[in-house]
Amino acid sequence: MISAILPFSTDILILGAGPAGLAAALAASSHAQTITIVDENAMLGGQIWRGGPVKWQDKRAHALWQKLSHCQNVRVVFSARVLAQKSSHTFLLDVAGVAQLISWNKLIICTGARELLLPFPGWTLPGVTGAGGLQALVKGGMPVQGQRVVVAGSGPLLLAVAATVIKAGGEVVSIVESKSSRQLMAFFWSLVKAHRGKLLQSLKLFWSLKHVYYRHDARVLEAKGDHRLRSIVLRHQEKTTELNCDLLACGFGLLPNLEIGNLLGCQVQDNGIVVNEKQGSSRPDVWAAGEACGIGGVDKALVEGHIAGLSASAQLAGGRALQSRARAWQFAALLKATFEPDHGLRDLCKPSTLVCRCEDVTASQLVEYGDWRTAKLMTRAGMGACQGRICGAACQLLFNWDAPGMRQPVFPTKSSTLAALGAASKLEENR
Ligand SMILES: Cc1cc2nc3c(=O)[nH]c(=O)nc-3n(C[C@H](O)[C@H](O)[C@H](O)COP(=O)(O)OP(=O)(O)OC[C@H]3O[C@@H](n4cnc5c(N)ncnc54)[C@H](O)[C@@H]3O)c2cc1C
């Protein structure tokens, strides 16, 4: 089941072992010859179920894995990352540092999402992370006992992150939500009307955070410190305050991981890979599910994964699944309408603020260029370790530029990995 060896070929390849990928594999398992799930992480679970079965508290995760682990035709390979496309149905992967190829007949993309980080003065200081970034570190064992933590940005993830920090023994000094009370109340009433389950979850979370100072209509203007974070300056309803803290976790929502959809030439929009009723992409042999085709949380990921798995193995989804996906899509639309970052957040970034933290490029160096590509060529923005995954998205909001385009290899890799397969020359032709 869990294997260190990637097969040469597979009937269905699933990228991502989060809720969507696991649900897709289980749904397809009875009607596919071989299914291979690959994930760049070293464990199952994706973002929300991070850490593998020993850490899972969601019964749905255990139920899925319990069934999947008995499927002889399903194989999971970890620490495996798609780097490039060798031919239309063959990928080059980096599997724990070793180059390997896999050919597939059908592909299900369940690659999830990453955080939107926006630059503001001091955001590169040690002690400042993304909101989900801090949560991942804590889930991975980073000690936060006795640490004073501010969780800032926007969206429901802030509550989940604050709850994780408290559970791990940290002190959440404040949650700083940029949306206004009017926007949050409208969201609350929409939950009351149409999403009672989500309402209950939010109320439980709020209850567990009852001692935390929740500020809405508030923004972190600056993170201050010498060699590491010491305090933050925030504006809350026209008042400016300084708060001492050890950690600042700041994120402005999630962005779908679109690299693989782009690599394959699937139709994509900013909010995800475009899919039809069957979770099919614009390519007939490629399906997508979960955050990769729109941000909507774990319920959406599970039901979309289920439908994608059925469709890829030539089965039809039942009415109940279609209904719960319709509800999940409604909730995703509500999330987008409420928490989409607004242009006012541009003011957080000052001319001297670093936008590309890998290559030390400031906002004032970028502002004179008209698009991402020119700015990249002239300043090296986006050419560092993250390959524009962080600054590219920030520049979309700051300067209204298009998202960085697709390039191969998708992730930075050793030239020996490419050379081992004679892929380097092929990639050179495609550049
Ligand atoms: C940092 C972070 C923290 C989150 N915390 C919460 C939370 O506390 N509560 C909550 O309700 N929601 C949380 N979410 C939202 C969460 O993503 C969804 O609710 C749910 O996990 C979506 O499931 P998914 O299967 O679509 O994606 P994910 O769970 O993100 O799984 C995607 C998987 O794909 C893998 N992958 C990506 N690209 C590749 C590639 N090229 N090759 C191989 N593998 C790849 C990733 O390693 C990952 O394991 C969080 C999201 C993020 C980004």
**Nearest CA to 72 among 21, 20, 25?**
25
Q: Which residue has the higher pLDDT, 354 or 426?
A: 354
Tell which one of 40, 48, 279 to mutate to probe ligand 1, the residue whose CB is within 8 A of the most ligand atoms. 48
Tell which one of 13, 104, 111, 205 to mutate to probe ligand 1, the residue whose CB is within 8 A of the most ligand atoms. 111
Work out the pLDDT band at 5, boundaries 50, 70, 90.
confident
Distance 112 CA to ligand 1 centre (A): 4
CA-to-CA separations, 300 to 183, 218, 223, 405, in angstroms, rounded = 23, 29, 35, 27
Instruction: Give the pLDDT confidence of 291-314 residue by residue, as tens digits.
Output: 999 999 999 999 999 999 999 999
Ranges of beta strands (E only) in 290-404 are 354-356, 361-362
Does residue 422 carry a pLDDT above 70?
no
Tell which one of 36, 44, 47 to mutate to probe ligand 1, the residue whose CB is within 8 A of the most ligand atoms. 47
Distance 323 CA to ligand 1 centre (A): 23
Residue 207 class from Cβ within 10 Å (0-12 exposed, 13-18 middle, 19+ buried)? exposed
**Nearest CA to 42 among 107, 97, 84?**
97
- Number of residues that this document lists for the chain: 431
**Of the given ranges (217-226, 296-305, 383-392), which has the lowest mean pLDDT?**
383-392
Does residue 242 carry a pLDDT above 90?
yes
Distance 209 CA to ligand 1 centre (A): 24
Nearest alpha carbon, ligand 1 atom 39: 111
Token output for 420 = 């081992």
Peptide bond into 409 cis (omega under 30): yes
**Nearest CA to 212 among 250, 158, 171?**
171
pLDDT value of position 97? 86
Q: Which contiguous run of DSSP H or E holds residue 11?
A: strand 9-15
Ligand 1 atom, smallest distance to 305 CA: 25
Distance 428 CA to ligand 1 centre (A): 31
Residues having CB within 6 Å of any atom of ligand 1: 15-21, 38-41, 46-48, 81-82, 110-115, 132, 135-136, 157, 160, 254, 257, 260, 290-291, 297-298, 301
pLDDT value of position 240? 97
Token output for 336 = 């987008």
Instruction: State pTM to two decimals.
Output: 0.94
Distance 48 CA to ligand 1 centre (A): 6
Average pLDDT on 7-32 reads 96
Nearest alpha carbon, ligand 1 atom 26: 290
The region that residue 387 occupies, defined by phi over 0 for left and psi between -120 and 50 for alpha, beta otherwise, is: left
Work out the pLDDT band at 428, boundaries 50, 70, 90.
very low
Long-range pairs for 315-323: beta carbons < 8 A, 24 or more residues apart = 315/27, 315/28, 315/31, 317/278, 322/277
Does residue 178 carry a pLDDT above 60?
yes
Token output for 150 = 């501010």
Distance 17 CA to ligand 1 centre (A): 9
Percent of the chain at pLDDT > 70 equals 97
Nearest alpha carbon, ligand 1 atom 27: 112
Angle between helices 196-208 and 157-167 (to 10 degrees): 40
Does residue 427 carry a pLDDT above 80?
no
Angle between helices 181-194 and 319-339 (to 10 degrees): 170
CA-to-CA separations, 384 to 35, 83, 363, in angstroms, rounded = 34, 16, 16
CA-to-CA separations, 256 to 52, 114, 274, 292, 378, in angstroms, rounded = 22, 6, 11, 5, 27
**Nearest CA to 277 among 289, 264, 291, 266?**
289
